[in-house]
Amino acid sequence: MTDTPISGHVAPGLEGVREAFEANFAAGEELGAGFAAWIGDELVVDLQGGWTDRGKSKAWDEETLVPVFSTTKPISALVVALLIDRAGPDVTYDTPVSAVWPEFAAQGKGEITIAQMLSHQAGLPGFEQEIDPELWLDPPALAARLAEQAPMWTPGDGSGYHPLSWGYLAGELARRLDGRSLGTVLREEITGPNDIDFWIGLPAGEHTRVADMKRPTALPELGEINAFNTAAFMTKWSAPQRGGAIWKEIEIPSANGHGTAAATARLYGAYAGALDLGIGADTWAGLTASRSHGRDRVLPFQIDFAAGVMRNSQQVYGPNRASFGHSGWGGSLGFGDPDRGLSAAYVMNRQSNILQGDPRALRLVSALYGSL
C-alpha cells in the first residue's frame, strides 16, 4: 500500500469505508478510483486513490474526471424530468413520444409513451442492419435513424436494455422539448448553478483531467445470445470508437458523462431527496414509478426500470429497496437512498467485465452502510 497514493477524507465513524477502499488496491484490483458519499448536503466520504494512467505517473486526485458510462443515464433522466415538468400539462410521462417528436411515429411507434421509451421498452436497443459506426458521433443523425426503425418487439411488452441508443432517444426528446441539447440544460440549469463537476459533452479544455481507461480483458456475460443483445452489443456497428477527443466532446446521454465521484454522487442525491432540482411532485412520481419489472431481453437480469433509472428491487444499490441506482460499463455505479438522504458513487479506470454489481463497488457500499 505504501506505493499507492490514497487521499481524501471520511467523516468520523466511517473509517471502515477507507479501509475497504484501500483493500481494493491492496488486492491488486484497481489502477485508479474514487468513492464518495453524501448525507444531505454533507460530503461524508470523498476518497481518491491510485493512478490516472497505466504508467502510474500521475496520481488520481479530487480534480480527476473519468467517464462513468451508463451511470450517466439517471443523471440524463433528471434533465428530461426537469423539461417535462416545465412543458406544461400537455406533456407527461404518459404522452406519446410522437407528440413531441413526430418523426418517431414511423414503423408503428406512434403510441410509444415517453415513459416506455425511457424505461427501455421501445424495442430499439441497437441496429439489426449495418450502419456506419461513425453515425454514433452525430447524435441528431443517429436519432433520426432510430426514428425510422421498426421496434424489435411489441413496445411496452417488457424491457430490453438500450445501452447506447437510449441516450440518443433521450437527447432528441430533450432537444424537442427545450431547443437546447440535454448536456447544455444539465450545465446551465443543474451542474453550473450547483458547482457540480460533471459533464455530458466535455469541453476540450477539460480533457487533460480525464483518466485513461484500462478496458476489461474478458467479454461481459450476457447470458443466452439473442437478436436483442446482438443488436445492442455484439455487432461491428453497435458502438463508436470510445475515448478520443470527439467521443468526449459530443453528447451521448446514455454513456459518456464525465465526472468525479463526488460530483456523480451529488447528482444522485436528487434520488435521495437531498438535491432539490425544482421538479414537481407529479413529475417526480412519473420519473421514479416502476415501468417494467421482470427479465430483461438484453441483460441477463431481473430489472425494475423506472423512466431512466433502476429501482433497487434486487438490492444491488445498498440494502434499501426504496433506493434508485444504475451501473456503468466497467464497474462504476451511483445510487440515492431516499430513506437516509444518502447518495454515493464509485468510479474507476480499471474496468471489469461485470455488468452490474462489481465486487469492488459492493464492498464499498457494504462498508458504508455497515458504518452508518
Question: Which domain CATH number covers 209?
Answer: 3.40.710.10
Helix (H) / strand (E) containing 33: strand 32-39
3-state secondary structure of 257: strand
Joined together, the cell numbers standing for residue 169 give 432517444
* Residue 129 lies inside a defined structural domain of this protein: yes
Tens digit of each residue's pLDDT (9 = 90 or more) over 32-45: 999 999 999 999 99
Q: Which domain holds residue 256?
A: 60-371
Give the mean model confidence (pLDDT) for residues 196-214. 97
* Residue 107 lies inside a defined structural domain of this protein: yes
pLDDT of residue 1: 43
Residue type, 316: V
Mean pLDDT of the chain, nearest integer: 96
- Quick check: pTM over 0.95? yes
DSSP string, 300-368: SSEEEE-SSSEE-TT--SSS-TT-EEEE-TTS-EEEEETTTTEEEEEEESB--S-SS--HHHHHHHHHH
* Residue 41 lies inside a defined structural domain of this protein: no
pLDDT class of 241 with cuts at 50, 70, 90: confident
pLDDT class of 247 with cuts at 50, 70, 90: very high
Give the mean model confidence (pLDDT) for residues 37-65. 97
* Residue 54 lies inside a defined structural domain of this protein: no
Tens digit of each residue's pLDDT (9 = 90 or more) over 265-288: 999 999 999 999 999 999 999 999
Is the predicted pLDDT of residue 317 greater than 90, yes or no? Answer: yes
* Residue 15 lies inside a defined structural domain of this protein: no
Alpha carbon separation from 185 to 83, 188, 206 (Å, rounded): 9, 5, 19
Give the mean model confidence (pLDDT) for residues 186-191. 98
* Residue 43 lies inside a defined structural domain of this protein: no
pLDDT of residue 359: 97
Number of domains in the chain: 1
pLDDT of residue 243: 76
Is the predicted pLDDT of residue 2 greater than 70, yes or no? Answer: no
Q: Which strands sit side by side in the sheet containing 66-67, from one edge to the other?
A: 66-67, 257-259, 198-200
Is the predicted pLDDT of residue 185 greater than 70, yes or no? Answer: yes
Cα–Cα distance measured from residue 260 to residue 240, given in angstroms and rounded to the nearest whole number: 24
Give the mean model confidence (pLDDT) for residues 345-352. 98
* Residue 147 lies inside a defined structural domain of this protein: yes
